[in-house]
Amino acid sequence: MEFKHITIAGSGVLGSQIAFQTAFNGFHVTVYDINDVALQSAKDKINILKGRYQEDLQASKEQVDSAFDRISYYSDLAKAVADADLLIEAIPEIVPIKTEFYEKLNQVAPDKTVFASNSSTLMPSQFAEATGRPEKFLALHFANEIWINNTAEIMKHPGTDMNVFDQVVEFAKAIGMVALPLHKEQPGYILNSLLVPLLDAAELLLSREVADVETIDKTWMIATGAPKGPFAILDVVGINTSYNIVKAKADATGNPEFKKLAELLKKEYVDKGKLGVATGEGFYKYPNPRFMDPDFLGNQ
């Protein structure tokens, strides 16, 4: 495995996590985003992650400070990828945005750079041509709270070079992940093939006014023993990400229920800045969400 310099494109919730996890495991990391405001937000997120790693992994202050120091930040794409062996894309789940990004990236990235998409639901074959290097392109998908939920799904498309695929599998292991190779393209990979239908079902129950957020979550938690309900999970994922996925489904299928749900998410949450854990409020308020109350699962 020849990867040493890693660039993360997109510094949202998961992009910041990927960057810090990679740096924590000894790699030199560059974070790219569209402007300095976004990059400052990334630094703020990563500073919070330092505390989480100390709390959850018993990492030392020296370890997390060293990891932080291995990360650099650029809003100039050419500078961000100048020495990249691997670029992991973690930008919004919007096809035209991703396509345009890969077309620009191919113009400035060195020939050696492998491109990997962290897309949650989209397939690498949708963007292979836009990358200009389909043999060096594949998907590498992480779960939220990457340092605890340490899965890495590696999915190739028919044109991916198997040597590249194998190198990305080894890279995933090198940053502390459990590498999960997929042998065929699958929208949603393994994790989201299981998770997204649950989240869709929960959101549609809310949109149809069948039950409220807390009742839906309480039902799932009591009946299955899960530590979080679907809306608590959505707050971690980010309601903006959920909105983008739902809107794409509405646009692709014309399904009026998904259209209604997208409008609800935009009006009541996205437009109000209630994006989940990252903003302090989503379906719940943080840092002390209602589902963590000792009496939440009771019959009060």
Active site positions, annotated: 120, 141, 153, 192
Instruction: Give the closest residue to 227 by CA, choosing from 130, 167, 141, 145.
Output: 145
Q: How far is CA 169 from CA 141, 180, 260, 283, 288, in A?
A: 11, 8, 40, 35, 37
Q: How far is CA 234 from CA 34, 213, 254, 266, in A?
A: 25, 11, 23, 14
β 5-9/151-155 pair status = unpaired
Instruction: Return d(Cα 239, Cα 283) in angstroms, integer.
Output: 9
1: tokens are: 């495995």
251: tokens are: 């646009």
